[in-house]
Amino acid sequence: MTKYPEGKEITIYDIARALHVSTATVSRALKNNPAIPQKTRNKILEKARELGYQPNTFASGLRNNRTNTIGVIVPRLNSMFMSDVIAGIEKVINASGYNLIISQSFESAEKEKDGAETLFRNRVAGLLVSLSYATQSFDHFLPFIKKGIPLIFFDRVEDLEGCPAIVIDNFKAAYEITSHLISRGCRELIHITGNLSRNVYKDRLAGFEKALSDHDLPFGAEKVFVTDLSAEAGKEIANRFIEKQVKADGVFTANDTSAVSFMLELKKHGIRIPEDVSIAGFNNDFISEVVDPALTTIDYRGFDMGQITARTLIQLIDRSRDQEITKSIILRHELLIRNSSLH
Amino acid sequence: MTKYPEGKEITIYDIARALHVSTATVSRALKNNPAIPQKTRNKILEKARELGYQPNTFASGLRNNRTNTIGVIVPRLNSMFMSDVIAGIEKVINASGYNLIISQSFESAEKEKDGAETLFRNRVAGLLVSLSYATQSFDHFLPFIKKGIPLIFFDRVEDLEGCPAIVIDNFKAAYEITSHLISRGCRELIHITGNLSRNVYKDRLAGFEKALSDHDLPFGAEKVFVTDLSAEAGKEIANRFIEKQVKADGVFTANDTSAVSFMLELKKHGIRIPEDVSIAGFNNDFISEVVDPALTTIDYRGFDMGQITARTLIQLIDRSRDQEITKSIILRHELLIRNSSLH
DNA sequence: CTGTTAGCGCATTCAA
DNA sequence: TTGAATGCGCTAACAG
């Protein structure tokens, strides 16, 4: 009946038998239950080590109906910013004794939904989400909310009942950087952005618009380019600019990747940066420092955001019957003025 | 006794009861066991959907002593290359119905060991590893090997019994890029590298050395700089160069990050690239294209490596009683000649 | 402070 | 083709 294909595992029964105690005692000792006196506990811990005992996470998960696993869903892992965030999350999660399961949506609502379902089925203790471009419905998060599983959004967030959001003030950052461009003499500004369903892009656009209006500069839909913010997108808008379909003396782009590719394409065609066009990006990726001239941008370090997001989640998971609900957090950002905008 | 704190879950018992069949039948139907006729199976599947049944992964894990979870341990998530690899891994893993648990070693042998233990305890179905700088002992992988859990190394690999390695030909790539520098007229070459315990750096150094010797150029320990390959490291070596403690007309660096920071520091001090010094990096990160002049480098796309690594692992997990053992794979690389080396 | 006991949900064996 | 029964390893209730 019982099958031991490759050497059986050590269980608390083995420890109990070796020490002539009950499994209940062993279980308690292993969990640092104060009912067990130090001496007994030590004996048990030592025997466990001696036998090479490894707790069976399935058995305890089955019993408790909870894991020490935390799920995260992000649009993609391979962007400088996001990999920084994930690195920060992983660091905190792991240091707190949890595991991290990762899922990518590839900017697809469908894949995001699939990821959420899988993570739910795997009984994650908490969920961290940065939304895909395409997400419109949030129903796939309801099971978590209903079941009381803490859910936190970061960066690309949505205001759902009881779900804190960890963000920066995108409106303010965009306002500042746009105002900077204006203060350097730009009068015809355009904005390259991403899907406006997402707060990050919507808010940055709003900040851009407000800065224009506060400085009595005209604004209109023709000044906004909605793209996927890829390097290709930057290049494409640059080409429209080169062909005079687009006029501008200042460009604010919602990420560094597209800003840099935009800049490089212009340079390739002999347009001088920042003399002919000033450019500003967003994120302070390493490329923004490396490109020539260095890109004015918003510093917005992902690693910290990841750590704070993860800490907030763990706090939420660990709250027994605590006081108030953890609220959303707005992180600091910083305007980095560099050569690309010294027009 | 039974506790349903937040609305009970649907189990196969609920389905069985609703349909007046046994749980055994339900279990079989859900697993597409051919003993169950289509008609019955369909009825069960539909009822499962209707009730919103979600299989309990703990229970089946406990029963089968295996998961559909795959573990990965990497030095860090936030490097362009590594995040690309992880993205590729995640894509394949998820598409194949597995989950991905991630752990970072932060280049520490200790943390790598902790990660391996955690993943082992979590009964991962397979493990993917890229080794930390500091790893010297490989004992923490033995439990996997003993238990027959497939283990694959990628990029930073080690030759362990039965563990395939997914790599590029680092020796050859280094030989090619060094030879290129020599062909462009460099006569005094230095090499900036990482920890030589790791194959990637050891092999690149060997390729560098071989290219020098094949071209009758002198080689010695003073031409090799072992660093952590960070941006700071590149800058520091650049400063030694500026202060004439280091002489060179050609520099081959084992990654793009340090190559770029090396280059930028030299440029800042008025040294002309490539007229005064030719520079070559490794990886073809986006920064290597963006920097001015663009960096000669080795193209070595991580996303594909990740996908291939993951596919190989899944194949290994799924092999029933298959033919031969999957072997190591050497992926293609490409020398990208760009302006930084047109000396 | 400690032991007995039951059961979490599932997959499998055995018998029908 | 189906069902009854069992146990995976752990934890918690309850009773000493």
The top-scoring range by mean pLDDT among A66-80, A197-211, B110-124 is A197-211
Rounded to a whole number of angstroms, the CA Rg of chain A reads: 26
pLDDT band at B6 (very low <50, low <70, confident <90, very high): very low
Gap from B211 CA to chain A (nearest CA, Å): 30
Query: Cβ of residue A286 near strand D, that is under 7 Å?
Result: no
Would the pLDDT of A2 be above 60?
A: no
pLDDT band at A325 (very low <50, low <70, confident <90, very high): low
Please give the interface size between A and B, counted as residue pairs whose CB atoms are below 8 Å apart.
Answer: 141
The residue of chain B with its CA nearest to that of A257 is: B286
pLDDT score recorded for residue A5: 36
Q: CA angle, corner B202, sides to B197 and B207, nearest 5?
A: 175
What average pLDDT score do residues B129-135 get?
Answer: 97
Q: Which of B83, B146, B148 has its CB closest to that of A78? A: B83
pLDDT band at B2 (very low <50, low <70, confident <90, very high): very low
What average pLDDT score do residues A150-174 get?
Answer: 96
pLDDT band at B1 (very low <50, low <70, confident <90, very high): very low
Query: Cβ of residue A68 near strand D, that is under 7 Å?
Result: no
What average pLDDT score do residues A189-213 get?
Answer: 98
What average pLDDT score do residues A227-252 get?
Answer: 95
Give the pLDDT confidence of B142-164 residue by residue, as tens digits.
999 988 899 999 999 999 989 99
Q: Which residues lie across from A252 on neighbouring strands? A: A191, A280
Residue of A277, A257, A120, A103 whose CA lies nearest to A194: A257
Element of type H or E holding B286: helix B286-290
Residue of B168, B135, B133, B197 whose CA lies nearest to B283: B168
pLDDT band at B121 (very low <50, low <70, confident <90, very high): confident
pLDDT score recorded for residue B277: 97
Q: Give distance CA A36 / C1' C1 (Å).
A: 7
Classify residue A86 by burial, with Cβ atoms within 10 Å: 0-12, 13-18, 19+: buried
Rounded Cα distance, A235 and B297, in Å: 23
Classify residue B268 by burial, with Cβ atoms within 10 Å: 0-12, 13-18, 19+: exposed
* Angle between helices A38-51 and A12-19 in degrees, nearest 10: 120
Element of type H or E holding B167: strand B165-168
pLDDT score recorded for residue B301: 87
Q: Does B13 touch chain A (CB under 8 A)?
A: no
Q: Could you tell me where the beta strands, DSSP code E, fall in B170-220? A: 189-193
Rounded Cα distance, A224 and B165, in Å: 48
Contact yes or no for B80 and A80 at CB 8 A: yes
The amino acid that residue A270 corresponds to is G
Q: Which residues of B touch A231 (CB under 8 A)?
A: 286
Q: Which residues of B touch A106 (CB under 8 A)?
A: 91
Q: How many residues does chain B have?
A: 343
* DSSP reduced 3-state for A148: coil
Contacts 24+ apart (CB under 8 A), A26-30: A30/A55
What average pLDDT score do residues A283-288 get?
Answer: 95
Please state whether beta strands A69-74 and A99-104 pair in parallel, antiparallel, or not at all (unpaired): parallel
pLDDT band at A139 (very low <50, low <70, confident <90, very high): very high
Cis peptide before B143 (omega within 30 of 0): no
pLDDT score recorded for residue B9: 84
Give the pLDDT confidence of B50-72 residue by residue, as tens digits.
999 999 999 999 998 888 899 99
Q: Does A64 touch chain B (CB under 8 A)?
A: no
The residue of chain B with its CA nearest to that of A295 is: B290
Share of chain B above pLDDT 70, in %: 96
Q: Where are the alpha helices (DSSP H) in A123-226?
A: 142-147, 170-183, 199-214
pLDDT score recorded for residue A4: 30
Residues in CB range of A241: below 8 A, 6 or more apart: A247, A248, A266, A277
Would the pLDDT of B186 be above 60?
A: yes
**Of the candidate ranges A257-261, B2-6, B288-292, B329-333, the one whose mean pLDDT is the lowest:** B2-6
Rounded Cα distance, A288 and A259, in Å: 9
Rounded Cα distance, A211 and A281, in Å: 16
Give the pLDDT confidence of B245-297 residue by residue, as tens digits.
889 999 999 999 999 999 999 999 999 999 999 999 999 999 999 999 999 99
pLDDT score recorded for residue B4: 29
What average pLDDT score do residues A18-23 get?
Answer: 93
Query: Cβ of residue B23 near strand D, that is under 7 Å?
Result: yes
Rounded Cα distance, A33 and B334, in Å: 59
Q: Where are the alpha helices (DSSP H) in B96-155?
A: 109-121, 142-147
Q: Give distance CA B32 / C1' D1 (Å).
A: 14
What average pLDDT score do residues B102-129 get?
Answer: 94
Give the pLDDT confidence of B293-314 residue by residue, as tens digits.
999 999 998 999 999 999 999 9
Rounded Cα distance, B134 and B107, in Å: 6
A57 secondary structure, DSSP code:
H
What average pLDDT score do residues B106-112 get?
Answer: 96
Give the pLDDT confidence of A93-138 residue by residue, as tens digits.
999 989 999 999 999 999 999 999 999 988 899 999 999 999 999 9
Mean of pLDDT over chain A: 93
Residues in CB range of B245: below 8 A, 6 or more apart: none
Instruction: Count CA within 13 A, CB hemisphere, residue A152.
Output: 31
Q: Give distance CA B2 / C1' C14 (Å).
A: 30
Cβ–Cβ < 8 Å for A334, A301: no
What average pLDDT score do residues B180-185 get?
Answer: 97
